[in-house]
Structure 1
Amino acid sequence: MTAPVTLLMAVHSHQPIGNFGFVFEEAYAKAYEPFLRVLERHPQVRLALHYSGCLLDWLTEHQPAFLDRLCQLVATQQVELLASGYYEPILPIIPEADRQGQIAKMRQTLWKSFGAEGPGLWLTERVWEPELPATLARAGIRYTMVDTNQFAIAKSWLPGAMQVHDNEFWDLLGCYSTESAGASTILFPASKRLRYWMPFQAVERTIDFLRRLQREEPVAITFADDGEKFGLWPKTYHWVYDEGWLDQFFAALERERGWLRTTTFSDYLKTTPPNGTVFLPAGSYEEMLEWSGGHFRNFFTKYPEAYAMQQKMLRVSRTLEELTAKNGRTDLLGRATQELYAAQCNCAYWHG
């Protein structure tokens, strides 16, 4: 007797702060709105969504009805909203106090706008460093997603039954606990296979792969990737919406509910403990590691102007911290801190 397979999905949407208005408009028309429209037609499909603070600010001003629709999906528990640093910073390269401030701002926004707690975190560019569990635990974050390749160094220590190999991909099932300074968080390994296949391969190929994951015990696999690939990336709108890939995929998930389930990460954790504890080195997704020479901070060597900007950002952060300690949190210092957070948006610190 085989047990069900759970597909956990997280879809992340972001536009850089200060991006052109027409880019926001195009992304909304081709990706964000049609994705939500298709999801609304399939109420049995549950997943996690993340919208960066930069994008939420634009949506609040230009598309408030979209946020009302999203709020309804949160209310019915079809969607779980993920937190993050508000302005999408690379968390390891900003000070701890700013990490806490950015995450708190996002969680406060999610609660005020959607009644959502934001218990999980979208890790910007999936850039992981070993001290992050303490940061996340302090911020009230229970879980995040990192790419499967980041677990490769511990492959021989991980349960064999939770690994899936073939000539092209290595998948890791379930989730794992990790910790630093006595604080723990849960890591969901995000499948490179699903990142490459969805939405570019036929629906049935993905469904057939998920069917092959069935075991005597329940298992779960995680998909986590950008929302822009569902319509904004070149040539994807026609395939995803005109040809109906997304509608067909969600329909297949509903049709196969006897053995294939979708749920939110929080609900999954209510019934399923981590497979074990693992300690990961600094890393990111494979392509990012290739571009950066194995470590995100190498961009500061590759691009001296990015390094100079980061060092200036750190000086401004220290100055604001000193002024706040001396004078208290005045309105002026509060506004300056928000400008600092905006300047920590990741997009200018690397070629992304």
Structure 2
Amino acid sequence: MSNPIHHALVLNLHQPPGNLQELLDQHSWEPHEILYAMDRIPRSLWGYEDVGRVHLSFSGTLLETLVDPHFQSRVYGVVDCGAMLWHFQNTALFRILGTGFYHPVLPLIPEADREEQVRRWLGMARHVFWRSDFQGFWPPEMGFAMELIPLLRRLGFRYVLVDSDHVEPVTAMDWHELRYRPHIARHNGEEIIVVVRDRELSDAQESGMELAWFLNEVEARTRWCDFAPLVTTATDGDNGGWFRNPQPEANFWGLYRALLEQTRAGGAVQPVFIDDYLDRYGAHGEVRVGTGAWNTGWHHGHGFMQWTGSQAQKDALERLRTLSKAVHDARWKAGERRLEDPETLALLEQAMWRLLRAETSCHYYWGEAWVPRALNDMRASEAALEKIVARLGE
């Protein structure tokens, strides 16, 4: 009997700070399409709890918007945000992946801010999704570097998603084993399981495909596996016409439900939660993961050129590094001097969250177009920092 082919579906859901609100103010149809695309996810899976298995990454900025009472009231006739978030608590259908709150490309931001980003996301996600166990981690933009491993392990993550273009074997292994089996990556004495996203199949998932093509392609790619392969596809779940199209026969969820029907009928491809696969089959072999991101519409992800290609982008990221050090130094000194009055604490929080929001990947993604948004947040952080420094008497 041949090994079953396991499929892990991963969807990233992110909206930049204030983006949905701005689109609503412009009386655009786009925020409705985005909200419908998100609301369609649980609705498409009702009745498929026996076979449906979906991993979701929600950025903190998106969650912040969806739980905001004012925003909820504005879109109530479109989508019931509270009910939608409640549906995502269904552990039979969904695994929620950890991420960074403000959706930063983690290797590009100061090391001291990486933990702040993830801890803030954990704080909100535990409340919204009523769970404390987040085994998997989704690096925003799949931006990964080996130096992140100790942090992720310290924060309790079991595995991290990485892109296939950046994975290199340390242990000798064939191409199909490298791509369709989880592995171990090590850095500075810490190790984590890496789960490899198939870039080409993910591209097809993003742009639209037929089920017969997907099944044939998966079977062809895993034909030589002498183990139970794990095929992982990961894309945005709320962008692009394939996910926003409301017609079941012309969107991703029509295809996915057809896949689930085939699974019920004994088909070769079986949707799976990654943690369940790891519990059963474990991870094999050691790999290195090169520093990089997933592919975008403009770039292959190597070297983070999408976010660092212009001088304005580079200058803003350098300013972030300087500001981050100043904010963390001020917080440390305020703690040493036991400055714990409400106003000082409020200023410290203002300086910190505006710094973290300035690190949002979207501010750098669009060339120089959105860099001013990052600079606005940095100026607000610097203004709060000046008041803190005055209180410190420096």
- TM-score where L is the length of structure 2: 0.77
Q: 1:325 aligns with which of 322, 325, 332?
A: 332
DSSP-derived class of the 2:67 partner: helix
- The 2-side partners of 1:321 and 1:264 are apart by 38
- The 1-side partners of 2:126 and 2:286 are apart by 31
Residues 1:35 and 2:44 aligned together: no
Aligned residues: CA RMSD: 2.7
The structure-2 alpha-carbon separation of the partners of 1:176 and 1:129, relative to structure 1 and needing over 3 Å to count, comes to same
Larger mean CA deviation between 281-290 and 172-181 belongs to: 281-290
DSSP-derived class of the 1:187 partner: strand
- The 1-side partners of 2:94 and 2:37 are apart by 17
Larger mean CA deviation between 58-67 and 273-282 belongs to: 58-67
Residues 1:190 and 2:192 aligned together: no
Residues 1:263 and 2:279 aligned together: no
- The 2-side partners of 1:88 and 1:298 are apart by 15
- The 2-side partners of 1:85 and 1:210 are apart by 31
Larger mean CA deviation between 114-123 and 220-229 belongs to: 114-123
Residue equivalent to 1:137: 153
**Letter of the 1:15 counterpart:** Q
Deviation track 1:204-263 (CA, whole Å, cap 9, x = no partner) reads 21123334436553221101111124xxx2476448635355224223224324343222
Aligned residues of 1:195 and 1:223 also touching (Cα < 8 A): yes
From the CA coordinates, give the structure whose radius of gyration is larger.
2
* Mapping 1:1-352, distance limit 5 Å: 1-19=1-19, 20-22=22-24, 25-43=31-49, 44-61=51-68, 62-63=71-72, 65-116=80-131, 117-151=133-167, 153-154=168-169, 157-159=172-174, 162=177, 172-198=179-205, 200-212=208-220, 213=222, 217-229=227-239, 233-234=240-241, 237-238=244-245, 241=248, 243=250, 245-257=252-264, 258=266, 259-287=268-296, 290=299, 294-296=302-304, 299-300=307-308, 302-328=309-335, 330-351=345-366
Aligned residues of 2:101 and 2:118 also touching (Cα < 8 A): yes
The structure-2 alpha-carbon separation of the partners of 1:271 and 1:289, relative to structure 1 and needing over 3 Å to count, comes to farther
**Letter of the 2:272 counterpart:** T
Deviation track 1:267-286 (CA, whole Å, cap 9, x = no partner) reads 22212211211112212234
Identity %, equivalent residues: 22
The structure-2 alpha-carbon separation of the partners of 1:319 and 1:160, relative to structure 1 and needing over 3 Å to count, comes to closer
DSSP-derived class of the 2:184 partner: strand
Aligned residues of 1:289 and 1:296 also touching (Cα < 8 A): no
Higher relative contact order at CA 8 Å, sep ≥6: structure 1 or structure 2?
1
Deviation track 1:97-127 (CA, whole Å, cap 9, x = no partner) reads 2111110111121111112332211111112
Aligned residues of 1:143 and 1:186 also touching (Cα < 8 A): yes
Aligned residues of 2:150 and 2:187 also touching (Cα < 8 A): yes
- The 2-side partners of 1:223 and 1:197 are apart by 9
Larger mean CA deviation between 32-41 and 337-346 belongs to: 32-41
| Stretches of structure 1 lacking an aligned partner (at least 5 in a row) | 164-171
DSSP-derived class of the 1:177 partner: strand
- TM-score where L is the length of structure 1: 0.86
Residue equivalent to 2:388: none
Deviation track 1:257-312 (CA, whole Å, cap 9, x = no partner) reads 434322222222212211211112212234589467x4116853x31111221122
- The 1-side partners of 2:300 and 2:269 are apart by 36
- The 1-side partners of 2:137 and 2:242 are apart by 30
Larger mean CA deviation between 37-46 and 61-70 belongs to: 61-70
Larger mean CA deviation between 334-343 and 27-36 belongs to: 27-36
- The 2-side partners of 1:308 and 1:280 are apart by 27
Larger mean CA deviation between 10-19 and 246-255 belongs to: 246-255
- The 1-side partners of 2:334 and 2:171 are apart by 53
TM superposition shift of 1:65 = 3.9
**Letter of the 2:126 counterpart:** W
| Stretches of structure 2 lacking an aligned partner (at least 5 in a row) | 73-78, 368-394
